[in-house]
Structure 1
């Protein structure tokens, strides 16, 4: 193998580089929000509350979706396209279930009188979780695009870069949710 070819293999793909820059930005945003949460919890009107049970079920859905997208990536690389499409569809459905369960959880909070604008601690929860949900919705949209492309009879592109990018992003939002859930439980 020539030196130039070996150097090319060592370089990160531009899409993967962009993804990691984006992940770094998202991490900084959530680090700022969780830091502000810690600082603000010493205010007089801070209230503690239990997280809705639906948040726990949504956690199971997003963790399971990480398993399905991992298996989808393996299926893609093995050129098992039917299995890949089925696993992508399952990941999309689990992502939608996650969002639905988050909405159910927020409805639970509203029923307890803990809606947005009621208490600072609840406002932080709303902001942090809704921002995370927005990133999950973005991931669902990307998954749908990949699914449509995989289902198209005219598209026959077998590069794994887009699959790797969406898989990495999806695992990231999964791990981010686990961090946020643990944070919200420990720092109440």
Structure 2
């Protein structure tokens, strides 16, 4: 039975295939959101654009995701120092903050519905649909990030994340910081262009 371990040190030269794959995923997500935000600007200039207040929860969610980036970095630092208790605690805090962010997004959508801002269909306006798409697609990627955080957490319970085996936590940290940065971009974009 082969003993499969994801270990940076096993790679001799070049970029680890998982790192390369992660960067391809990140680049494709950047391109997708660049297309969404470009389409938003173009469609807004065409007229028939409903102006409405963004839900206040979006600011709270921005604070939550920044805090989750801090806890993720603390988890990474703890793994580097072989502080496994702190690693587990910070991963759980990151997952909890990520879940709180998703609950906040659902709350924001509820606020939109209560203000008669809907996604698609009769009586909807493209401005509302764009907001649902931007926040929904980001939310989907955050769910994938949460799954990644939980995989790393369960790996840490089996002592597979530590200073000599940092690849899992490193990839997870990069992806989580990317999701936080992407949200900051979306929030600022919506504030400026809404």
**TM-score w.r.t. structure 1 length?**
0.92
Give secondary structure in 1 for the equivalent of 2:138.
helix
Residues 113-157 of structure 1: per-residue CA shift (max 9 Å, x gap): 00212110110110111000000000001111111111136x576
* Alignment partners' CA distance in 2, 1:132 and 1:27: 11
Q: Which residue of 1 aligns with 2:83?
A: 80
**Structure 1 residue 172 corresponds to structure 2 residue 172:** no
Q: Which residue of 2 aligns with 1:4?
A: none
Comparing 36-45 and 178-187, the one that deviates more: 36-45
Residues 72-94 of structure 1: per-residue CA shift (max 9 Å, x gap): 00000100001100000000000
**Structure 1 residue 20 corresponds to structure 2 residue 23:** yes
Alignment root-mean-square deviation, CA: 1.7
| Runs of 4+, deviation exceeding 3 Å | 155-158
Q: What are the equivalent positions in structure 2 for 1:127-166 lying under 5 Å apart?
A: 127-152=133-158, 155=160, 158-166=164-172
Q: What are the equivalent positions in structure 2 for 1:49-64 lying under 5 Å apart?
A: 49-64=52-67
Q: Which residue of 1 aligns with 2:128?
A: 122
The gaps in structure 1 that reach 5 residues or longer are: 1-6
* Alignment partners' CA distance in 1, 2:73 and 2:52: 35
CA contact (8 A) 2:148 2:172 kept: yes
Q: What are the equivalent positions in structure 2 for 1:27-106 lying under 5 Å apart?
A: 27-106=30-109
